[in-house]
Structure 1
Amino acid sequence: MLKLLNTNQIKSRSFLKFKSVTRILASMSTTSGLIEQSIRDKLVKILSPSHIEIINESYMHNVPKNSETHFKVLVVSNKFKDITLIKRHRLVNDILKEELQNGVHALSIMAKTPEQWESSNKVIESSPNCRGGFGK
């Protein structure tokens, strides 16, 4: 079953520590920003994931409210079988080339096979705090 995660309304990084996303998904709105939806649509169309989560982390950075500039994606797909991690990342970056050239400043990628996802702890670690772009 494909589980889609909308994070447009997430304001707390502590959410990312939940092991079971299903309960939280039921209570969330299904609306997302245009860029987030474009990312989701392209990854679903090309990779046919069994599980996908797209997390808009823009709120953690010094950008205007409701920005879509910083994302973390988790994609679980059979299409990653026998592909090295670097090639998986290159594939996702290539699929999202237009978004990366037009406003998406940062993209963190977790690309797993279904077997890797099932044997994992299914926890998406929270990203580090923004350091202002200058390492401060």
Structure 2
Amino acid sequence: MNFGAFARSLTRLYSTSSIEGLTAGESQLYNKLQKAFDPIRLRVADVSGGCGSMYAIDIASKSFEGKSIVKQHRLVNDLLKEEIKDMHGLQLRTSSK
């Protein structure tokens, strides 16, 4: 299943307009990404059933303009490298718009 189909199947997605109801893990990732990238769009969801072992992140930021998808993903992965160590997986979607 591709990220788009998977993301649409999620019942909980969070945007930059509200972080109410985030789990502790989602909130930690959300706040770190928000501070580093000042995103236009940011969605963070624990897709592991609540245990925090897998997350889906959808982020759009002007910081990514002119960068390839690989470079955009590297920026996010570098920022979250400590958190990623404890994850089973990370689904990442980035864009500049």
TM-score by length of 1: 0.57
Kept in 2, the 8 Å contact 1:35–1:99? The answer is no
Unaligned runs of 5+ in 2: none
Instruction: Select which of 77, 80, 85 maps to 1:93.
Output: 77
Q: Structure 2: how far apart are the matches of 1:47 and 1:34?
A: 20
Tell me the TM-score normalized by structure 2. 0.78
Q: Distance in 1 between matches of 2:9 and 2:88?
A: 24
One-letter amino acid of the structure 2 residue matched with residue 77 of structure 1:
S
Which stretches of structure 1, 4 residues or longer, exceed 3 Å deviation after superposition?
none
Root-mean-square deviation (Å):
2.7
The one-character-per-residue Cα deviations of 1:32-75 (angstroms, maximum 9, x if unpaired) are 2222111101100000001101121102xxxxxx3011111000
Q: Which has the larger radius of gyration?
A: 1
Q: Pick closer, same or farther for the CA change 1:70–1:79 going to 2, 3 Å.
A: same
| Equivalent residues, number | 88
Give ranges in structure 1 of 5+ residues lacking alignment.
1-12, 23-27, 60-65, 115-136
